[in-house]
Amino acid sequence: MSTSLHPLLLLSDSALPLGSFAFSSSLESFLAHASHGSNPHLQSHQRAPARELVSTFLAYSLLSVSTTVLPFVTAAYNSPDKAAELDDELDASTLCPVAKRASVSQGRALVGVWEKSLVALCPSIELQACVKAYKAAFRKPGEAQGHLPVAWGLICRAAGLGLADVQYIFVLNHAKAVLSAAVRLGAIGPYESQKILAGEETRRLLMEAVERGGRLGTEEVGQTVPAVDLWQGRHELLYSRVFNS
Computed over every residue of the chain, the mean pLDDT equals: 86
Q: What is the pLDDT of residues 72-116, one digit of tens each?
A: 999 999 999 999 999 999 999 998 888 888 899 999 999 999 999
Angstrom distance (rounded) from CA 4 to CA 79: 20
C-alpha to C-alpha distance for 72 and 216, rounded to whole angstroms: 9
- Give dist(CA 191, CA 115) in Å, integer: 35
pLDDT for residue 40 is more than 70:
no
Cα separation, 18 vs 57, in Å, equals 23
Model pLDDT, residue 239: 57
- Which residues are CB-contacts of 237 (< 8 A; sequence separation ≥ 6)? none
Sign of CA dihedral 234, 30, 13, 158: negative
The model's confidence at residue 38, banded by pLDDT at 50, 70 and 90, is: very low
pTM score, whole prediction? 0.90
Q: Where are the alpha helices (DSSP H) in 37-162?
A: 40-46, 50-68, 70-78, 83-93, 97-113, 125-136, 148-158
Q: H/E element holding 38?
A: none
Band of residue 238 on the pLDDT scale cut at 50, 70, 90: low
Q: What is the pLDDT of residues 174-208, one digit of tens each?
A: 999 999 989 988 889 999 999 999 999 999 999 99
CA dist 144 and 12 (Å) reads 24
Per-residue confidence at 18, pLDDT binned at 50, 70, 90? confident
Helical (H) or strand (E) element with 13:
none
Q: What is the pLDDT of residue 143?
A: 86
| 144, 209, 26, 181: CA torsion to nearest 10 | -110
Please give the pLDDT value at position 44.
47
